[in-house]
Amino acid sequence: MMELYESQRAMRNMRKAAMQRGVVAILDVGSSKIACLVLRFDGTERLAEVEGIGSMAGQSGFRVIGAATTRSRGVRFGEVSAMQETERAIRTVVQAAQKMAKIRVDHVIACFSGASPRSYGLAGSIDLEGRVVNEQDVARVLASCDMPDYGDGREVLHAQPVNFALDHRTGLSDPRGQMGQELATDMHMLTVDAIAIQNLAHCVKRCDLELAGIASSSYVSALSALVEDEQELGAACVDLGGGTTGVSIFMKKHMIYADAVRMGGDHVTSDISMGLQVPTAMAERIKTFYGGVYATGMDDREMIELESDTGDWEHDRRRVSRAELIGIMRPRVEEVLEEVRSLLDAAGFEYLPSQKIVLTGGGSQIPGLDGLASKILGQQVRLGRPLRVHGLPQAATGPGFASAVGMCLFATRPQDEWWDFDLPVERYPVRSIKRAVRWFKENW
């Protein structure tokens, strides 16, 4: 636990250094595409003063000066599966983004969607020694949370204090400076496979870049796709990606649950490829141009040419109707949404006051998806596009870039994480001296 604490703190310091320098790169390592944005910060000190999210949603201080995407290779289900290929892809995209930004970037904040995330809710409480809650007390109450046994080979990706309670008052976002006897906290912790993080870190390192932060894709896409009141009142963000479908639930502007379904748009493509006997690239193209989930009478007459050049005249001139394509796509999309439904059920989403569901990610562009999703997930479904940020090229404003844009927000205004607070005094080896000092302070 301490190791991760240290490495996360090191990353956080590096992120601060990058913001001091003014340039940081965002790397969204997805299964279908890898996107890189280069951010330039203008006024970090101004940002630090603003409390809460603010009118510009914390995006007033930065600007996107470089953006590039490339087809992903070596990434499957949101995890690095072929190291060399992934490294080459990262190199390609970083180089292109640097070229557009005309500046060299050294620090990169990465996000990935896979690695089987798992959410834990933790609770901890302490008795306050002093009357007034201070920074140390917050650190202590966070440290007092009982760690679940999340298994070997897993690492904590996010550990965010969601709620503080002082005596019997709950729902405090910042208890510092308040009076009370007992301080309790609820913390949301997200663990992922350690191997996935290490692989990604290794790939980034091999590109001569410094990893200045790491985030879960389902978390950051919700940051950009959910509007402020949805984050406040409670909403789920479903990020339909290529290899995985990320689900995150927000409440009171904090993520309280995140998970991922290991199914996504690539599976739809492979279904088409298998069902229509066409290569994957063509299946992808057909899906993009003609895809849908609701068949109408018109679709029976709209024929899609399946051209190929095998030399077999019959094979090269096959045609399918769009209805057939939809017939192939719909069961898989339904399956994905059913999985999402079961995840939401498991998370107790139906007990939330507001049950808004926002679909985003590249897969959400299937025509008619919102209709299908509202049948499976519930009535309050909408399609979400990422927030507009300064300088983002038009090509990168689609829902497929929700997590990349969310990473920008994450980079500029990160949530307080557990490791942002100092280690509680008791954890230090010099604890006896500190105690002596405190005893002195209290008695003299």
Partner 1 sequence: MQQVAAKCDPAPSRWAYRLERLMLTPLFRLFLRIILPFMVVFSIAAIWLSDEARRDRLSGFVHEARVSIETRPEFMVNVMAIDGASVSIAEDIREIIPIDFPLSSFDLELEHIQEQVAGLPAVASATVRVRPGGILQITITERDPVLVWRSRDGLFLVDQEGFVVASAKSRAAHADLPLVAGAGAELAVQEARALFAAAQPIKARVRGLVRVGERRWDVVLNNGQRIFLPVDGAVQALERVIALNDAQDLLARDLTVVDMRLSDRPTLRIAERSVEEWWRIRRLQVGNTEE
Residues that bind partner 1 (CB under 8 A): 70-71, 73, 82, 85, 88-89, 91-92, 94-95, 98-99, 102-104, 207-208
Shortest CB 196 distance to partner 1, Å = 19
Residue 387 DSSP label: P
Rounded CA separation 336/6 (Å): 37
Strand 245-251 to strand 235-240: parallel, antiparallel, or no bridges (unpaired)? antiparallel
Shortest CB 206 distance to partner 1, Å = 8
Q: For partner 1, which is the closer residue by CB, 85 or 338?
A: 85
From 131, 42, 29, select the one nearest 71 (Cα to Cα): 29
Shortest CB 123 distance to partner 1, Å = 46
Q: For partner 1, which is the closer residue by CB, 95 or 116?
A: 95
Q: For partner 1, which is the closer residue by CB, 91 or 382?
A: 91
Exposure string of 307-335, with b = 16+ CB inside 10 Å and e = fewer, is: eeeeeeeeeeebebbbbbbbebbbebbbe
Q: For partner 1, which is the closer residue by CB, 282 or 383?
A: 282
- R_g of the chain computed on alpha carbons: 24
Residue 435 corresponds to which tokens in the numbers above? 């105690």
Strand (E) positions, 167-231? 169-172, 182-193, 210-216
Shortest CB 130 distance to partner 1, Å = 49
Shortest CB 434 distance to partner 1, Å = 44
Shortest CB 31 distance to partner 1, Å = 15
Q: For partner 1, which is the closer residue by CB, 103 or 233?
A: 103
Rounded CA separation 231/345 (Å): 19
* Partner residues linked to 182 by β-bridges: 127
State the residue for tokens 């966070």.
142
Residue 375 corresponds to which tokens in the numbers above? 């049948």
Shortest CB 212 distance to partner 1, Å = 16
Give the CA count within 13 Å in the CB-facing half-sphere of 347.
Answer: 28
Q: For partner 1, which is the closer residue by CB, 44 or 95?
A: 95
Rounded CA separation 255/249 (Å): 6
Residue 40 corresponds to which tokens in the numbers above? 């330039």
Q: For partner 1, which is the closer residue by CB, 63 or 206?
A: 206
Number of Cβ atoms within 10 Å of the Cβ of 20:
9
Q: For partner 1, which is the closer residue by CB, 87 or 259?
A: 87
Strand (E) positions, 361-407? 381-383
Shortest CB 214 distance to partner 1, Å = 22
